[in-house]
Chain A
């Protein structure tokens, strides 16, 4: 297991390097000059003149060849220095440290909400296969996976905040502020996890050992808890892990709509300003989070399912 973890960590770093490289060069080939974008973002179009552009070029060494800038960034990144944000003129690491806890908080709230809803719902749906509850569940998951998240966000704000006055529109104004963004963010994951849970339960329910347990006279509740869940849950762990990665990416839009001060807002501002150090920092953070979560999921999976052994292959 330790060897497996070490191997996976090496893979994680390789993936991070590839993501960082792809992002770095993609930012530079997008239309628009970096120095112009920086000046515009900090001072508006009136600040963009040849003198100020020269100053910005010089300050951030933007007039050097792109490969030189890239290699310097990579070397510094290995030392743990992510550079200074062009737009905010503060260390990238410092800005991320301020905002990451909020994004994690939101992400975990969304995951928790999703798990609490989707697992029981999926189980119930499977146990009432092709009956009313199952149909309701399937329509519900279809609906919530069909609506775009930004639309759901606006509808929730209008209903829960404006009409019912139950919750704030956005920002971080207290514990209740997390509810609407977490609900919005959790919807896609809830739909996918509910369907997977249902599917996994149906698969397990059709196994011979379940029939055998029933034939032996075991109580249905005990069959569900002792046999079905134990075998139906492992694949769900993997799905949840994949969905968490999507949540980290999806949080960018949701944070912007709800003015939630997370990494998403930083990333959007950074993209508009072609703030390469900040873009790299945010992207690396999201990629790292995704990779680590999937590693954790794989370890938990191996622990739950004795048939899975990470010696390089599943057995």
Chain B
């Protein structure tokens, strides 16, 4: 009896293990799939496979999922948007050829007539309507980010968007990854999004839902010529930064983004790897808690910026991954004001301003104080961006040099956000994509006009409203630049460094260009293999 029980139990265990050993691979393919070719960069004389590490978990190809949409548009090259933002942040026609504002809340977009989806059907206004409505319904962040309320097909190749508020920035919003255009055949009869049938140069071949590996092959009927020798792209989910770095070194991956700063030297010395650094439109920025008396004094705010050596932060702390800001934004942005005061490193000036504000080392303990109270600052930041923790630690050092005691807390972003809203901090280091919607007003509207730190400047808000109201780009730039000048004078929020992206590429990768207007990073169609 006992032996029977043991036998049954062991058989059950072996059975489970056999079942799991057989695997439960869920591969979704479309017709014409050429099978998987994960191993090696070249399976046959004709096939060139570009392998890309994606830093997030892929669980779906549904374009309403922003992670998925980012991968499909920018990494795999399977989907496209109506509008495209160039490297210099100017908007270009893409799937749409022209657009105009037809009312306070309405816009008309004319579509390109020679675009085919990967299923062979023509991209038309009904398909665009379907696509936008799918995203509106299934992406909770869509409406709030684009202000799109509804979309109608006026004729075969004209769509009308209605927005929930007056916005001159809809064309820029339609370059956002969440607005990619896909065919209604992406959804099965049960209403489930199963295949990303887009318009891109590559079309979906295989998606392994279990491992998060996506493969795509060249779409022969793409609407414009592309020069590349890559016939297949394989995108693998590798969420750990060290794992991405090791995968490139081992020759398993051709392109990996956001590798650890500590690996840069090893990667640069590796014979199979090339390291490329780029400045991005993302910034690091410090916010003061203006609800506290300490920061009501503009001299204190400016002094704390003078105390930080931004050049050293970029070169020594971030190891060159990033840029020294000449204003608050990336230099290449056409609306960036590079003639503002950035309070360049001057610890003597910092001490002088603090002394004017009443902070001196009256008790000779090495720390500044005022009215018997030591100046102590609580710096907070978040975990996701590794550079943030490094910058905050460096800031702690700079402040210690001028006699300011600091404590540092590193939290998850939502936890940091909660502390900011509760006012339980002195300075918060955050990071933001200043070209999430690539318009002159977006960044300041999001972080300067709408903030939780108690910063209010009515003149700045008025300039931003004027910027959003006009459709003339030159006027937009002017309003934005004036707003930036005001913001820099107030010094309530400041940029210690521009965010840099670092890529580890295999030596086989050729023609990789970085577009700072990308949501994360773009692998252009022209990227090839030697």
Interface residues of A (CB under 8 A from B): 1, 30-34, 36-37, 39-40, 42-49, 51-52, 55-56, 59, 88-90, 95, 97-99, 101-102, 104-105, 108, 154, 157-158, 161-162, 165, 168-174, 256-259, 261, 265-266, 268-269, 272, 274, 296, 299-300, 302-304, 306
Contact = CB atoms under 8 A, between A and B. Distances in A.
B58 to A, nearest CB: 10
A1 B1 CA distance: 11
B243 A169 contact: yes
Nearest to A108: B17
24 contacts: A1-B5, A32-B412, A33-B417, A34-B414, A36-B413, A40-B417, A42-B67, A44-B66, A45-B433, A46-B433, A51-B143, A52-B143, A59-B140, A101-B20, A108-B20, A161-B246, A162-B250, A170-B243, A173-B252, A261-B211, A268-B239, A274-B414, A300-B9, A303-B6
Contact of B415 (A32, A43, A95): A32
B237 interface: yes
Interface residues of B, number: 65
A89 B411 CA distance: 25
A224 B239 CA distance: 49
A247 to B, nearest CB: 14
A55 B140 contact: yes
Contacts, number: 181
Contacts of B59: 88, 90, 95
Nearest to A52: B144
Contact of A48 (B236, B417, B433): B417
Given A44-B436, A45-B430, A101-B20, 10 more contacts: A45-B433, A52-B141, A55-B143, A88-B65, A105-B21, A154-B242, A169-B252, A268-B239, A300-B9, A303-B3
Contact of A165 (B13, B60, B250): B250
The listed residue with most A CB atoms (<10 A of its CB), out of B20, B145, B436, is: B20
Contacts of A37: 412-414
A92 B247 CA distance: 30
A56 B414 CA distance: 14
Contact of B250 (A98, A168, A265, A266): A168
Given A31-B415, A169-B250, A303-B5, A42 B430 contact: no
A158 B433 CA distance: 34
Nearest to A158: B246
B60 A88 contact: yes
B362 interface: no
A47 B141 contact: yes
Nearest to B57: A269
Given A47-B144, A265-B239, A98 B26 contact: yes
Interface of B: 2-3, 5-6, 9, 13, 16-17, 19-21, 23-24, 26, 38-39, 57, 59-60, 62, 64-67, 138, 140-141, 143-145, 178, 209-213, 236-240, 242-243, 246-247, 249-250, 252, 411-419, 430-433, 436-437, 446, 450
A70 B436 CA distance: 36
A46 B144 contact: no
Contacts of B143: 51-52, 55
Given A42-B66, A42-B140, A171-B211, A49 B450 contact: yes
Contacts of A170: 238, 243, 246-247
B6 A43 contact: no
Contact of A31 (B57, B140, B210, B418): B418
Nearest to A165: B250
A113 to B, nearest CB: 13
